[in-house]
Chain A
Amino acid sequence: MAAFDLVVPETAEEAIAALQTLGPGEAAPIAGGTDLLHDVEEGRLLARRIISLRRLPWRTLDWNGNALTIGSTLPLRALEDDRQVRERYPGLYEAVRNVGSVALRHRATLGGNLVRSAPSSDLIPVLLTLDAEVDLVGPHGDRRVPVDRFVQASRRTDLRTGELVRSIRLPEARPSAFFWQRVRPSNDISQIVLAVAFAPAERSWRVAVGGVTPRPTLLAEAATALGAGRPSPDAVRRAAESASARAPFMTDRRASEEYRRRLVGTLLERAVASTVGTAGFPA
């Protein structure tokens, strides 16, 4: 197993400084560690120094009206247990409670999921449909980046040397839904995930898909096909066809491209039906 040392800073400033004491890529942050320790076990971790985020005051959940800011190191289980999250962000609630197992969710975090940026992430598609933004702190100050720009490919993000994800901001509550397909229902990596949300102010849909290459992605054409409100069965069918044709699916060890293309339309139909059935869906 790779040898590394562990630093446990008390403040964000100390953590940012610690990240810069070695060369690029030689220091890595650890939040829940559930994915990072995989890399350690497989000898894939290059970092010689791990910076623990556990003492930073980022295990937070802050409401501002309907906007929600989620601290990057808040365990997923705490997010799932919040009644307001469940009511106002149903897609996020469904996605979070379907990650791994209960024990895993007591440690795993939203920040970690974003930074690890897995193409099969259960959480990134939902964040995309909610127009979520990532709040970063770093040696050159704070900045805010849309999730759609932050996530680039597996284990590759817009995070610069010395930067940390402090929180994730969801600008507005949206009727939303999340559906998955896996070999095993629990504690498995999804073959496909499909998230949809309806933005009530601008009256437009978002559709995002995971289990794709190189990263989870919004499907703009499918969203447009759904129209500006409750879609007709014909509109849903056109959106499903578009998702099936346009999603960047590939064959890998979890599923074939063909299987994914057949399945995605069904998941989209279910997700739209669930979203229009949400209590807050506008007339």
Chain B
Amino acid sequence: MTPRPLRLTVNGRAVELVDVPASERLLDTLRWRLRSKGTKEGCRTGGCGACTVLVDGRTCLSCLTLTHEVDGTEVTTIEVGPEDAVVTRVRTAFEEAGALQCGYCTPGFVMALAGLLRERGTSATREELLEGVGGNLCRCTGYVAIVRAIESLRSGGP
């Protein structure tokens, strides 16, 4: 338990959380405390990337992160609105490339790529972008369309 509230900014909205157990992970805070179900739970061991979010603009596996350890940070998830131009751009690229089948892994892929673009800028190479999703698994194995989305990001669109 914490003596003072824990503060996060989630998708631009300031939230104060009280009585968050020390062992609670950011993934569970987002999904169950804040009822933001866009971020997905896959393996819970950092092996699949489905839970990827941004913390202060950098990719983060929310299943391997204690919420208290990111106290005071800015968290961005797949639910962020159009005001986030980078996430919006990646989401659009996925839509236009049809880069999803069941869709469960998609939020993780989108956030991993958005994080990479924030880090490396729009000049990120194809290799860097592919490396950026090296920790993301698609159990439908729909990788061809995902790579197509990545290539459209490279060529300036959407």
Cβ-neighbour of A103 out of B22, B23, B49, B66 (below 8 A) = B49
B44 within 8 A of A: yes
Of the candidates B44, B46, B66, B115, the one whose C-beta lies within 8 Å of that of A104 is B46
The 0/1 profile, CB within 8 Å of A marked 1, for residues 19-61 of chain B is 0011101000000000000000000111101001001001111
Q: Does the CB pair A103–B47 fall under 8 Å?
A: no
Verify B44–A41 contact, CB threshold 8 A: yes
Q: Is B96 an interface residue, CB under 8 A from the partner? A: no
How far is B57's CA from A106's CA once the two chains are assembled, in angstroms?
Answer: 11
- Interface residue A156 (Cβ < 8 Å from any Cβ of B): no
Query: Is the CB–CB distance between A107 and B64 below 8 Å?
Result: yes
Contact status of A38 and B45, CB under 8 A, knowing A30-B69, A33-B66, A52-B68? yes
Residue in contact with B61 in the complex, picked from A1, A52, A54, A107, CB distance below 8 Å: A107
Indicate the size class of the contact surface on chain A.
20 to 34
* Complex CA–CA separation, A52 to B2 (angstroms): 14
Task: Name the A residues within 8 Å of B136 (CB-CB).
Answer: 101
B134 contacts chain A at the CB level, 8 A cutoff = yes
Known: A40-B23, A41-B45. A187 touches B134 (CB 8 A): yes
Q: Cβ of A101 and Cβ of B23 under 8 Å apart?
A: no
Chain B contacts for A101, CB-based, 8 A: 46, 49, 61, 112, 134-136
- Does B131 have its Cβ within 8 Å of any Cβ on chain A? yes
B116 interface hit (Cβ, 8 Å): yes
Is the Cβ of A106 less than 8 Å from the Cβ of B69? no
Contact with B along A178-216 (1 / 0, CB 8 A): 000000011100000000000000000000000000000
Contact of B65 among A33, A100, A102 (CB under 8 A): A33
Contacting residues of chain A (12-67) with chain B, CB-CB under 8 angstroms: 30, 33-34, 37-38, 40-41, 50, 52, 54
Known contacts A186-B135, A187-B134; A37/B58 CB under 8 A: no
B142 at the interface (CB under 8 A from A): no
Residue of A nearest to B134 (CB): A186
Decide: A187 and B47 in contact? CB cutoff 8 A.
yes
User: At the interface with chain B, which of A2-10, A114-122, A146-154, A251-259?
Assistant: A2-10
By the criterion CB–CB under 8 Å, are A106 and B58 in contact?
yes
Could you say which of A2, A34, A37 has the most chain B C-beta atoms within 10 Å of its C-beta?
Answer: A37
B134 and A6 within 8 A (CB) = no
Task: Specify which chain A residues have a CB less than 8 angstroms from the CB of B59 in the assembled complex.
Answer: 102-103, 106
Chain B residues within an 8 Å CB radius of A77: 58
- Nearest A residue to B71 via CB reads A8
A52, B69: Cα distance in complex, Å: 8
Contact of B66 among A3, A30, A38, A106 (CB under 8 A): A30
Min CB gap B5→A, angstroms: 15
CA separation between A104 and B47, bound complex, in Å? 9
Q: Given the known A-B contacts A103-B115, A104-B135, are A33 and B49 also in contact in the complex, defined by CB atoms under 8 Å?
A: no
A103:B21 contact, CB within 8 angstroms: no
The 5 closest A-B pairs by CB, nearest first: A101-B135, A186-B134, A6-B22, A103-B59, A187-B135
Interface residues of B (CB under 8 A from A): 1, 21-23, 25, 44-47, 49, 52, 55, 58-61, 63-66, 68-69, 112, 115-116, 131-132, 134-136
Enumerate 14 A-B pairs (CB-CB under 8 Å) in ascending A order.
A4-B22, A33-B66, A38-B45, A38-B46, A38-B64, A52-B68, A102-B135, A103-B60, A103-B61, A106-B55, A106-B60, A107-B65, A186-B134, A187-B46
